[in-house]
Structure 1
Amino acid sequence: MAALEIVQEYYSNFNNKDWQGMLGLLHEEIRHEPNQGDPRIGLEKFTEFLQTMDTSYEETLTNMTFFTTPDGTRVAAEFTVNGIYKKGEEGMPEAHGQSYVLPAAAFLEVKDGKVSRVTTYYNLPHWISLVS
């Protein structure tokens, strides 16, 4: 399967809340570079991240647009995050079911048929203003 197809399936699994499907597409040494904070390395750390996300947020991605590198190893994705803030996280505003719509982007690398890196970008101060 081509990198673009793998990434499209990854995001389809995200929207379907098929966490096992998502995890099955990740390289054992996945490098997750979040918008804020230190990178997470490995499936265990990524699984913990997904559990936190599932507890605190209800999100669906729309307006998906994908771009690939000529060598087919990297994919950029631009999308809109449509979310509900369910449970507050430390250092963030209190959650009480606020909805938000936020533009975001991600850069993914595929190695040996698996996603080996996910780097995500969004405007955190704007998100905070949307849920405050």
Structure 2
Amino acid sequence: MHATETLVRRYYDAFNRADWPGMLALLTEDVVHDINQGGRETGRAAFASFLGWMGRAYREQLTGMVVMVDATGTRAAAEFTVTGTYLIADAGMPPAHGQGYVLPAGAFLEIRDGRIARVTTCYDVNDWKRQVERGVPGAP
């Protein structure tokens, strides 16, 4: 297994454990975070704040992880399924009352000096909204 694949898997394993310090330790200090269909934030402190909110508003697990790495080890992509529960309403989003959802998602990552320097996460926010507005049979 390539060192970059190991790094990416460690990052997402930490996510699944809600180990925010473990995730942050794998990022560069100036990490760039492209929030799905949102803005761009820079820096580990901004990422920590994002994780803090996410940990309160959503409970998620990522499964079916597939990691792809380019030949240089400086770029990676991950594809996975997000299974989650919506706990606290996010600004501009539907009300939260413990609705479940299941989404296909992916991320693009840039690696520098053995750490993650960019995370760009992608999923269909309209699909997510439909699921939390209607409820999804079999979702948590």
When the two structures are superposed, what TM-score results if normalisation uses the length of structure 1?
0.98
Aligned partner letter, 1:62: T
In the TM superposition, what is the alpha-carbon distance from 1:124 to its structure 2 partner?
0.5
Which whole-Å deviations, capped at 9, do the CAs of 1:37-61 have from their partners, x for residues lacking one?
A: 2101001110010011001000000
Unaligned ranges ≥5, structure 2: 134-140
Query: What aligned pairs does 1:93-112 form with structure 2 within 5 A after superposition?
Result: 93-112=94-113
Paired with 1:74 and 1:67, the residues of 2 have a C-alpha distance of: 9
Paired with 2:39 and 2:17, the residues of 1 have a C-alpha distance of: 27
Aligned partner letter, 2:26: L
Aligned partner letter, 1:84: T
**Corresponding residue SS for 1:40:** strand
Q: Does 1:29 align with 2:30?
A: yes
Q: Does 1:82 align with 2:109?
A: no
**Corresponding residue SS for 2:39:** coil
Paired with 2:71 and 2:115, the residues of 1 have a C-alpha distance of: 18
**Corresponding residue SS for 2:93:** coil
Count of residues in Structure 1 that have an aligned counterpart in Structure 2: 132
Paired with 1:100 and 1:2, the residues of 2 have a C-alpha distance of: 32
**Corresponding residue SS for 1:106:** strand
In the TM superposition, what is the alpha-carbon distance from 1:28 to its structure 2 partner?
0.2
In the TM superposition, what is the alpha-carbon distance from 1:2 to its structure 2 partner?
1.5
Percent identity (aligned)? 48
**Corresponding residue SS for 1:126:** helix
Deviation beyond 4 Å, 4+ runs, structure 1: none
Aligned partner letter, 1:26: L
Paired with 2:118 and 2:77, the residues of 1 have a C-alpha distance of: 11
In the TM superposition, what is the alpha-carbon distance from 1:36 to its structure 2 partner?
1.7
